[in-house]
Amino acid sequence: MAVIDFWKFWEIFTASRCYITGDAHWLTFPLVKISQAFACGKGACIALILLTGCSQTSSHSPSQPASAVPVAEQRIAQTPPSPTPTKTTSSEPKTIKIKVTLDSPTDLKVTPLQRVKVGQILSDRPSRHQTLNQQRQFLELRLDRLQQQRRYSLATTRLDIGQAQLETRLARANLAQFYASRRWTNYASKKFPALAGEELTREQWLRSHLFTAQANLKSAYTAVQVAQQKDFLEERQIRNQIASIDRQIASTGVRSPYAGTVKKIKWLGQSDTELIAEVTITVSNRLEEETNADGTEANKTTSIQNPKSKLRQAQLPIQNSLVLSVHDGDTIKVKQEGRTYRIRFACIDAPELSQALGEESRNHLRSLIKSAGSQVQLQIVDTDRYGRRVALVYAGGKLLQVEQVKSGLAYVYAKYLNNCPPAEEVKRAESVAKQQRLGVWSGNSAPPWEFRHRQRSLKSS
């Protein structure tokens, strides 16, 4: 066996590297080098070939080792793709088309080229509204009658139950007294039935009387449960009908979802009962300056803040209610789906009844509500610390807060304007009342919040 000179073979095989030639991908070695390696040892040759590795050549010929380039060096750097600019599109459409149904052309509340605000009524159907209100009042009367009958029947059944309970207790006491005072024991009665016959007859009568009283008591309880279940089902049916009518009343008036300008009104046709029209509105930019109702241009702050408050006001649900009483110039009691609520007007504070113009403010509010048939629409914005619902109140298509302030019979309640979506409209109404020196602005009347503070101070002292 030949002796291997390791460093000699390392020099041979580092010089004779294998090459991959272009597309053919075949390995070639110098034959002289390989023969020298095999002369010293087959195992050493294989080991050194594996250790030295191969290189890749860019030439198509194996005879060009100088031009060989390692595989790792031929990687081409990839440039990262440039980001494509994204288009920012507005979520608001440029124009919208709203289809409305009318009873007559006068039900349409807008005209071409008229500017509209968010939540402004585009069409209303007063005849349909009046019919639905009459149906609702009829259901309210039915619900009141049902509740009165239920209270009467409940009182009657309570008397029946009390009578049955009394008879049961009396029968049980008579039977216990009989057992305590009888002369014959059970054993003696069985042994001498002829002697104890009278007591046996008395015992049987007392037992049957107790059984009858217990049966009457059970039937009284059953009658109460059946009556309550029947009244509950009937009341739920009436309440569902009232809720359905409320939804129909809310859908009779179509409101604008965006601020803009009425581009055109197209009449689509008519049927036996209604007209159909299409209102096209060009939506204005939300940051665009809006104009006030009197045509003057609002300042920049108002143009940025007003659309948000108007959008919030349009998103508040409308609840139709029947006014039961007017407490003062900013508080009423209403009935809604068979339940009674106290409503505190948002945005304003009216004089107390013991103040000057307190009764005038209440009477003015009462006349406004009476002219609308005692029907109001509420938009609940908050609940105060006394548990009253704070709301925007509409009657006859008018915001009652604005009417009270415009007549000088209420103040703008600046402390709570954060829960007043139409704050700017109420402030403008107060400015008009101040300029004309109406109501509370005609003298030196104290605001109601100061009056209440003085009253609390007097009571505490």
End-to-end CA gap in the chain: 126
Q: Are 419 and 351 part of one and the same domain?
A: yes
* Residue 233: predicted pLDDT: 86
Q: Which of 223, 252, 281 is the last residue of a domain?
A: 252
Q: Is residue 95 part of a domain?
A: no
pLDDT given at position 393: 92
Residues 245 and 312 in one domain: no
Dist. CA 101–CA 155, nearest whole Å: 50
Reported as a single tens digit per residue, the pLDDT across 441-455 is: 987 778 899 888 888
- Residue 88 backbone phi and psi in degrees, to 5: -90, 115
What's the pLDDT at 57?
Answer: 42
> What is the per-residue pLDDT for 71?
43
Extract the tokens encoding 296: 């003057």
Q: 245 with 347, same domain? A: no
275 three-state secondary structure: strand
- Strands 331-336 vs 27-28: parallel, antiparallel or unpaired: unpaired
pLDDT reported for residue 24: 40
For residue 15, CA distances in Å to 73, 146, 199 come to: 20, 112, 137
Kindly compute the dihedral angle of the four CA atoms of residues 165, 168, 169, 174, in this order, to the nearest 10 degrees.
160
In a domain? residue 281: no
Closest CA to 400 of 427, 362, 372, 368: 368
70, 93, 116 - which closes a domain? 70
pLDDT tens-digit readout, 189-215 = 677 666 667 777 888 888 888 999 889
Going 230 to 236 to 240 to 241, the CA torsion angle's sign is positive
**pLDDT averaged per 10 residues, the chain (length 461):** 54 51 43 50 52 45 44 45 50 80 82 84 79 85 85 82 89 86 72 70 86 88 83 86 80 79 86 83 62 39 41 64 91 88 93 89 92 88 86 89 93 88 90 89 84 83 66
In eight-state DSSP terms, residue 72 is G
Please check whether residues 150 and 220 belong to one and the same domain: yes
Contact yes or no for 249/320 (Cβ under 8 A): yes
The parent domain of residue 350 ranges over 302-460
Check residue 105 and give its pLDDT.
Answer: 80
Whether residue 310 contacts residue 298, with contact meaning beta carbons closer than 8 Å, is answered with no
Report which secondary-structure segment, H or E, holds 263: strand 260-270
Question: Residue 297: what pLDDT?
Answer: 40
Q: Which of 229, 212, 211, 220 is closest to 162 using CA atoms?
A: 220
Whole-angstrom distance, CA of residue 315 vs CA of residue 147? 34
The pLDDT assigned to 239 comes to 86
